[in-house]
A = this chain, B = another copy of it.
Amino acid sequence: MPLLFVLAESALERVPKELWRHPAVVRTARARRKRPGAMLLDRSLHHPAMRNLPNASRRGRPDLVHTTLLAVMGSPLNKEGLLRVYVHTIDDHVIEVDPSTRLPKNYNRFVGLVEQLYEEGQVPPGGPPLLTIRRETLPELVGRLAPDRVVAFTREGAPRTVEEVMRDLSGLERPMILVGGFPHGHFTDETLALADETACVDPEGLEAWVVASRAVYEFERALCLPEKRLARVGKKDS
């Protein structure tokens, strides 16, 4: 019944070793009093250092992950316990976000939290974790979660409205959707091979958080959640 939401191939990773000595990295590390390798790669800070990095156009964008997580975690679907959120990263880590997590709305605090997550393996470090991270490829994640259907949202997919896609998924036990967590380009063939269906919901490329918030909302609509929750207005649990 829960919707499994995967932000896939996300442009999130720590500063890779080959950039640790670059002046732009050294400077930000010093200002933040962190080891270069303990910081997230961030194009807004490390652009000059990324010039010779392979695949650079799909790396170093924790801001996209943050905005998309805010968009889905604040949904009524999540408040109902019907959403499971996973961030798969370009360097094959998977971050699992507990539904009760109240993520920092401030970007810099989010970055600090994810850096702590990479250091500690979970946050908060003691007690029940809100965020956990593990080394895992996308095929491994899909294998572990065992969805009964996987839909990948991609401009290269078959034209369908978000409403149609999500209505079809809403009757399943463990439906999964994949949204790309990168600024440009398309899913790799390896990712596409995991999808039972690909869907193009708009002729222009839409940002990850736009697609994500609409998919979550249409899943709610298919479950009549807006009406069901409104029926509670004024009742005691509101």
Q: Which of B107, B233, B238 interacts with A107 by CB under 8 Å?
A: B107
Residue of A79, A203, A217 with most chain B CB atoms under a 10 A cut-off: A203
Residues of B within 8 A of A238 (CB): 203-204
In the assembled complex, the Cα of A207 lies from the Cα of B214 at a distance in Å of 15
Distance in angstroms between the alpha carbons of A107 and B64 in the assembled complex: 11
- Neighbouring B residues of A76 by C-beta, 8 Å: 202, 204, 206
Q: Which of A14-63 contact B (CB under 8 A)?
A: 42-44, 61, 63
Q: Is the CB of B210 within 8 A of A71?
A: yes
| Chain A: number of interface residues, binned into ranges | 35 or more
Residue in B42, B207, B217 whose beta carbon sits within 8 Å of that of A74 in the complex: B207
Distance in Å from the Cβ of A69 to the closest Cβ of chain B? 11
Q: Is A106 an interface residue (CB 8 A)?
A: yes
A145-184 Cβ-contact flags toward B at 8 Å (1 or 0): 0000000000000011111000000000000000000010
Query: CB of A108 within 8 A of chain B?
Result: yes
Q: Contact check, B202 vs A226: say whether CB atoms are below 8 A apart.
A: yes
Partner of A44, one of B43, B109, B214, B235: B109
